[in-house]
Structure 1
Amino acid sequence: MKIPFYKAAIVIISVCLINGPLKAQDARYPIIPYPTSLAAGSGTFVITAATRISADSKFSNEVVQFNKLMKQGLGIALQKASSTAGNIISFKYDAAITEDEGYKLTIDQQNVVIAARTPTGAFRAVETIRQLLPVNIEGNREKVKQLSLQSLTITDQPAYAWRGMHLDVSRHFFSINYLRKFIDVMALYKMNKFHLHLTDDQGWRVEIKKYPKLTSEGAWRTFNNQDSACMKLAKDNPDFAIDPKHIIHKNGKTLYGGFYTQQQLKDLVAYAAAKHIDIIPEIDMPGHMMAAINSYPFLTCNGENKFGELFSKPICPANESTYEFAQNVYDEIMAIFPSKYIHIGGDEVDRTDWAKSDAVKAFMAKEGIKDLPGLHSYFINRMEKYFNSKGRKLIGWDEIIEGGISPTAIIMYWRGWVPDAPVKAAKNGNTVIMTPGEPLYFDNQPDQYSVSKVYYFNPIPAKLNAQEAKAIIGAQANLWSERIPTEQRADYMYMPRMTALAERLWTSNTDRYDSYLKRLAIHYKRLDKLNVHYRLPDLPNMVTENVFTDKDTLSIKKPMEEMQLRYTTDGSLPLASSRILNNQLIITAPQTIKVAAFTPSGSRGDIYTLNYKKQPYAAAQNAAATVPGLTATYYKAFFKQTSLISKAKPDSTFTTNTIAVPSSVTAPSFAITYRGYINVPSTGVYTFYLNCDDGGVLKIADRMVVDNDGNHSAIEKNGQVALSKGLQPFSLDFIEGGGGFALGLKYSVNGSAPAPVPSTWFQH
């Protein structure tokens, strides 16, 4: 793997009005996620060295966390109040607050009152205050004599109980300090579940004292194909360079990896617990176990350890020694992680060796197991009983439901191409956490739509009724690290997408997107202070494959005023010293321009490669009588490239007037080709936008327009073509490798906003 209220003076404006035109308040209260209810007040509360804290004893940790902010801002911790009078910040117990993470925050000119029933609720209020304080409180920068908070009243609670982030430290290893930083950012945005993927084929990252070779051998590897892919990408982007901190030289070999000691992880658990974040460990079984099997080959059915057609060989569920090993490992994991949740993985299991094993056949006959999915479920169900005996709950990826699963297991849904999986799980009585690859796999390359897709993601499947929907307890984003070798690259991939998920899961309100974007723009300065190397906002309306008949103009509106746009025309990458693009650039000859945005802190945004070529208008075709729609041909097979489709035998042909995956298609891998004409309404230079998961190639008038080929997540690419009015030959090849089912085509002309290509344009 690897998916309010406002108050101005004494006038209160209703929620229905504020949900839309929140603009005047965005800068004043730039809170993400936005509170359930916020009423703006008048005046400010000023914090100085003389300010005192009054707190119920159950909130002692939250006072400590609050005072860490004060030390960063004022240079001192606030002292305990000796009376109820004066300039006081109070932490008060409130039994009337029903939600565990709920709180009420009241700020006026004399007092700050944090009311909560639980320490968790009080801490969430502290993080709200943190976002209301100046960004200079972050990172122990310069100290000030006073801090100010705008007056307000907030009543707040989360919409979903599970608001998670996942990090894969197996494919590429990250330092324990980075995990702490990751937790800090999660806490800032009120995320509460940290899913730590500790083991996989590529590395075992947690010390297991009973099996020392898991880390002495399994934590290290010679460079593999994922590493070499990153090294290749590092030529254009240093964020892909393999981190030298995790390279050692041993016995004449260069080894890459690392692991965490049990004490390091226990300290990390305590660090996260102080911020009310639960760390859920994942030890992936029965598949994804190559790093363990290398050192302990008795775990397999035949002693082999290699990759099958798609996945690595799994451990053997017919051997008692397998269960002894698993239980011993999980015993030590449970001693490190007090979370009531343990993730067993359970996904992507190559069962072919099980089918060949006489021992497995005998075991299945003895246990009355009918098929291999049933054997898979036997392993999961047996481990769940063991977890339950230790007071823990099992979480698994959605594959574990295939052979039958107990209703007490918790399911993480990730396979977007199996939309009925969460529905089946919910109807079976299982608790479900939504993590679909699109849009919640944050290792998927982000584009200009990534943030909005996360913001508008609905965790509740449409097929569930209101009662069944209660099984969905929340969602999380997953950050698989096959192509994330550095901490900076990890920052870039999850931020700012995580802020959109945080708001979606806390407030469950999609009416504030414009407000969210304005608040997010303010948060970038805070993230700078926290040394989070976030992805800069996209440059708007960028076309990568441009054509012109006479001349063209490059003009870019900066999404952030403090940005500088710099460009090159010699093929080199833009640097902070490259030419500044301040005004329009007139294009009169074919050329390639590379442009990127830079912030004052030196961060560079994505590099846009803009190709320009001169092209005459394609003459319209004189076709015989045509009929509406395109001829579509369906191929039920797996393709790595669209060029391979022509060598395959088609399964069916149909006529369609839309560019989309038909609802009738259920195969995990397939291809569709579209042929016919597009009836161009007027002569001009047209821009086409092809969004697909996986690959697609669009040709019009026998000219390449968009090349979005290959197996990848949903990505939109664009290109232009000069067309005369009338019928123009149209060709679109699309491949789906499994997991996305995304296909869409839009167009624009003469600077118009992109819109779906009208169905009336298609002829054949």
Structure 2
Amino acid sequence: MRTHHRSLPRPAAALLGSLLLVAAGAGALGAVPAAASPTASAPAAATPLGQIVPAPAKATAGGSAYRITAATRIRVEDGSREARRIGDYLAGVLRPSTGYKLPVTDAEGRDGIRLELHRKDGELGAEGYRLTSDGRSVTVVAREAAGLFHGVQTLRQQLPAKVEADSRQAGPWLVAGGTIEDTPRYAWRGAHLDVSRHFFTVGQVKRYIDELALYKVNKLHLHLSDDQGWRLAIDSWPRLATYGGSTQVGGGAGGYYTKAQYKEIVRYAASRYLEVVPEIDMPSHTNAALASYAELNCDGVAPPLYTGTEVGFSSLCVNKDITYKFVDDVVREVAALTPGRYLHIGGDEAHSTSHEDYVAFMNKVQPIVAKYGKTVVGWHQLTEATPAKGALAQYWGTEGTGAAEKARVAEAAKNGTGLIISPADRTYLDMKYTKDTPLGLSWAGYVEVRRSYDWDPGTYLPGAPSEAVKGVEAPLWSETLSTSAHLDYMAFPRLPGVAELGWSPAATHDWDTYKVRLAAQAPRWDALGIGYYKSPQVPWPAG
């Protein structure tokens, strides 16, 4: 997760302003400043098939390009609610920029944009798709709705970047001819967002969800509790949110989600085929809870609320029965709000909890998670205890992590514990790019764009069987981040690279070809109002 946090000097407001100027009020992806009216432009060529992020498993170019026109219809299968919903989503992306009506219809026809679910197409799996483009139509086929949605993201990237604008643009709107056949490498392609150190509103979380969806991310790991703030209403322990959620790093107002607001985040994520994985961090990272209820402390005295950035000083009282009533109540309520399979229990940096107490705590807490129908996820320190059957350990170590710690995690993987690979010196999006980055931390080192992409999750942890690796995740901690502009600047351009590591076959991973595809994303980010770091390692378009 994270170690050795140090408070950093606040960057100068002018520097931040010059680097991070974006539309502060932008909401969901696509809410960008009004673009210019259509103007005459030189004839445009279609984006070569497959020149997208993440790279598809297979792309075969050939034949005529498909052109979206005023006559284009989006055709979905009769009676398929999921296909209709995805068709409406696609129409919502395309209509503002093209100016076309693009009706979504279940009327039969071989022309237009066709979205089809073929339930018996086993080759495509739960998230794969096949996109075929020719002069008459562009067709996306999938076995499951998630695959259809991912195929729509590919279609979106095959179109000119200005398709993302919220006002009418000049065409043509071409999709190169040929076929893409695509399935993901890993089932877990995650992004984590820390709403505890700084609170982010429902609208801000939705915006990030939309950005994740464009790159086929399918897990949103929400860090809902920490020393600096508790962010979800719990009916049985109401002061957790009303008092424990009342502040944040630096002493700001904080905030929390009502149950209805959290359910709206879950619903919205599901509409983009992301599963929310809530994290309630324990036994450490719990000062907000300890400050809210004195009885959770071993001495019965509530500490003050905390607004700093140190870690590892707090701990639930492992030997008190009320601790486990507290955990049971919280897990029960969070599980009831979360339809997904997983519940993250943290478990890292428990520096003020003895090893014996840590093991005893995890032995009691993991069955509580199972009791409410969820599968345990924990940071890799969970392997210091005995991970429950089916549990996943999220490895956040670095190249400097000790051999014994790496070996312990690898041994747990050999014994059946699945791994999510999140090395802090590769995937932590809050790490500074360089010493001059005005945001972020640097305890794991500087993480430039190439470093975040140029590695293989399947072979990263020595001794861990490749089949134990369930996927990859990019955490974004918020000690220094408090606005959507901050999130965008630290996530882009690194997030798409981590997403590609999760989706694309290992054989496609090549920095020299990736950096060209990545650079081509920049006009799309501009159209979407995403302010990003212009790394000198990437050949960005001129102008």
Q: Would the TM-score normalized by the shorter structure come out above 0.5?
A: yes
| Structure 1 residues 439-518: aligned runs within 5 Å | 439-447=426-434, 450-461=448-459, 468-507=465-504, 508-509=506-507, 511-518=509-516
Q: CA deviation at 1:421?
A: 3.8
| Residue 147 in structure 1 maps to residue 173 in structure 2 | yes
CA distance in 2, matches of 1:78, 1:272: 25
Worse overlay, 414-423 or 295-304 = 414-423
1:588 corresponding residue in structure 2: none
Q: CA deviation at 1:37?
A: 0.3
Residues 1:335 and 1:309: Cα distance change in structure 2 (over 3 Å): closer
CA displacement 1:605-640 (0-9 Å, x = unmatched): xxxxxxxxxxxxxxxxxxxxxxxxxxxxxxxxxxxx
1:279 corresponding residue in structure 2: 276
Q: CA deviation at 1:110?
A: 0.8
1:66 corresponding residue in structure 2: 90
Task: Give 2:367's aligned amino acid.
Answer: K
CA distance in 2, matches of 1:81, 1:283: 44
Asked if the contact 1:411–1:430 (Cα under 8 Å) also holds between the matched residues in 2, the reply is: yes
Asked if the contact 2:363–2:385 (Cα under 8 Å) also holds between the matched residues in 1, the reply is: no
Q: CA deviation at 1:145?
A: 7.5
1:316 corresponding residue in structure 2: 317
The DSSP-based 3-state class of the residue aligned with 1:326 is: helix
Task: Give 1:339's aligned amino acid.
Answer: G
Higher-strand-fraction structure = 1
Q: CA deviation at 1:298?
A: 0.6
Asked if the contact 1:341–1:395 (Cα under 8 Å) also holds between the matched residues in 2, the reply is: yes
Residue segments in structure 2 that go unaligned for 5+ positions in a row: 4-44, 435-445
CA distance in 1, matches of 2:382, 2:113: 53
Residues 1:255 and 1:476: Cα distance change in structure 2 (over 3 Å): closer
2:542 corresponding residue in structure 1: 561
Q: CA deviation at 1:509?
A: 3.4
Q: CA deviation at 1:383?
A: 2.1
| Structure 1 residues 218-617: aligned runs within 5 Å | 218-221=244-247, 227=250, 255-304=252-301, 311-351=312-352, 372-416=354-398, 417=401, 418-447=405-434, 450-461=448-459, 468-507=465-504, 508-509=506-507, 511-538=509-536, 560-562=541-543
Higher-helix-fraction structure = 2
1:89 corresponding residue in structure 2: 114
Asked if the contact 1:51–1:89 (Cα under 8 Å) also holds between the matched residues in 2, the reply is: no
Residues 1:310 and 1:174: Cα distance change in structure 2 (over 3 Å): closer
Asked if the contact 2:426–2:453 (Cα under 8 Å) also holds between the matched residues in 1, the reply is: no
Asked if the contact 2:426–2:447 (Cα under 8 Å) also holds between the matched residues in 1, the reply is: no
Residues 1:394 and 1:81: Cα distance change in structure 2 (over 3 Å): closer
Residues 1:38 and 1:179: Cα distance change in structure 2 (over 3 Å): same
1:754 corresponding residue in structure 2: none
CA distance in 2, matches of 1:409, 1:280: 13
Residues 1:310 and 1:169: Cα distance change in structure 2 (over 3 Å): closer
CA distance in 1, matches of 2:407, 2:106: 57
Residues 1:141 and 1:2: Cα distance change in structure 2 (over 3 Å): farther
Q: CA deviation at 1:538?
A: 2.5
Residues 1:413 and 1:84: Cα distance change in structure 2 (over 3 Å): same
The DSSP-based 3-state class of the residue aligned with 2:235 is: coil
Asked if the contact 2:75–2:106 (Cα under 8 Å) also holds between the matched residues in 1, the reply is: yes
Asked if the contact 1:504–1:510 (Cα under 8 Å) also holds between the matched residues in 2, the reply is: no
CA distance in 2, matches of 1:263, 1:80: 33
Worse overlay, 71-80 or 326-335 = 71-80
CA displacement 1:335-377 (0-9 Å, x = unmatched): 222111000101111345xxxxxxxxxxxxxxxxxxx424322
Number of equivalent positions? 476
Asked if the contact 2:229–2:254 (Cα under 8 Å) also holds between the matched residues in 1, the reply is: yes
Asked if the contact 1:95–1:116 (Cα under 8 Å) also holds between the matched residues in 2, the reply is: no
Asked if the contact 2:48–2:176 (Cα under 8 Å) also holds between the matched residues in 1, the reply is: no
Q: CA deviation at 1:465?
A: 6.7
2:157 corresponding residue in structure 1: 131
2:30 corresponding residue in structure 1: none
Q: CA deviation at 1:109?
A: 0.5
The DSSP-based 3-state class of the residue aligned with 2:475 is: strand
Residues 1:524 and 1:48: Cα distance change in structure 2 (over 3 Å): same
Q: CA deviation at 1:255?
A: 4.7
Asked if the contact 1:2–1:441 (Cα under 8 Å) also holds between the matched residues in 2, the reply is: no
The DSSP-based 3-state class of the residue aligned with 1:509 is: helix
2:208 corresponding residue in structure 1: 182
Asked if the contact 2:199–2:254 (Cα under 8 Å) also holds between the matched residues in 1, the reply is: yes
Task: Give 1:52's aligned amino acid.
Answer: R
TM-score scaled to structure 2, two decimals? 0.82
Asked if the contact 1:101–1:157 (Cα under 8 Å) also holds between the matched residues in 2, the reply is: yes
Residues 1:539 and 1:190: Cα distance change in structure 2 (over 3 Å): closer
Residues 1:72 and 1:494: Cα distance change in structure 2 (over 3 Å): same
Residues 1:87 and 1:474: Cα distance change in structure 2 (over 3 Å): closer
The DSSP-based 3-state class of the residue aligned with 1:419 is: helix
Q: CA deviation at 1:395?
A: 0.6
Identity of aligned residues (%): 34
Residues 1:463 and 1:136: Cα distance change in structure 2 (over 3 Å): closer
| Structure 1 residues 1-150: aligned runs within 5 Å | 1-2=1-2, 29-56=50-77, 57=80, 58-75=82-99, 76-87=101-112, 89-93=114-118, 95-98=120-123, 99-142=125-168, 147-150=173-176
Q: CA deviation at 1:168?
A: 0.6
CA displacement 1:222-268 (0-9 Å, x = unmatched): x7xx53xxxxxxxxxxxxxxxxxxxxxxxxxx852111221111111
Asked if the contact 2:46–2:176 (Cα under 8 Å) also holds between the matched residues in 1, the reply is: no
Asked if the contact 1:70–1:78 (Cα under 8 Å) also holds between the matched residues in 2, the reply is: no
The DSSP-based 3-state class of the residue aligned with 2:521 is: helix
Asked if the contact 2:363–2:386 (Cα under 8 Å) also holds between the matched residues in 1, the reply is: no
Residues 1:212 and 1:94: Cα distance change in structure 2 (over 3 Å): closer
CA distance in 2, matches of 1:109, 1:337: 44
Q: Between Structure 1 and Structure 2, whose CA radius of gyration is higher?
A: 1
Residues 1:143 and 1:200: Cα distance change in structure 2 (over 3 Å): same
Asked if the contact 2:285–2:311 (Cα under 8 Å) also holds between the matched residues in 1, the reply is: no
Task: Give 1:437's aligned amino acid.
Answer: A
CA distance in 2, matches of 1:333, 1:2: 24
Asked if the contact 1:375–1:403 (Cα under 8 Å) also holds between the matched residues in 2, the reply is: no
Q: CA deviation at 1:440?
A: 1.4
Q: CA deviation at 1:29?
A: 4.7
The DSSP-based 3-state class of the residue aligned with 1:191 is: coil
Q: CA deviation at 1:283?
A: 0.8
Asked if the contact 1:165–1:193 (Cα under 8 Å) also holds between the matched residues in 2, the reply is: yes
Asked if the contact 2:54–2:503 (Cα under 8 Å) also holds between the matched residues in 1, the reply is: yes
CA displacement 1:199-219 (0-9 Å, x = unmatched): 100011111222221122111
Structure with larger RCO (C-alpha < 8 A, sep 6+): 2
Q: CA deviation at 1:437?
A: 1.1
Asked if the contact 2:406–2:462 (Cα under 8 Å) also holds between the matched residues in 1, the reply is: no
Q: CA deviation at 1:319?
A: 1.6
Asked if the contact 1:293–1:299 (Cα under 8 Å) also holds between the matched residues in 2, the reply is: yes
CA distance in 2, matches of 1:266, 1:444: 30
Task: Give 2:485's aligned amino acid.
Answer: Q
The DSSP-based 3-state class of the residue aligned with 2:314 is: coil
CA distance in 2, matches of 1:276, 1:403: 33
Task: Give 1:394's aligned amino acid.
Answer: V
Q: Give the aligned CA root-mean-square deviation in angstroms.
A: 2.6
The DSSP-based 3-state class of the residue aligned with 1:283 is: strand
Task: Give 1:293's aligned amino acid.
Answer: L
Task: Give 1:2's aligned amino acid.
Answer: R
CA distance in 2, matches of 1:211, 1:463: 40
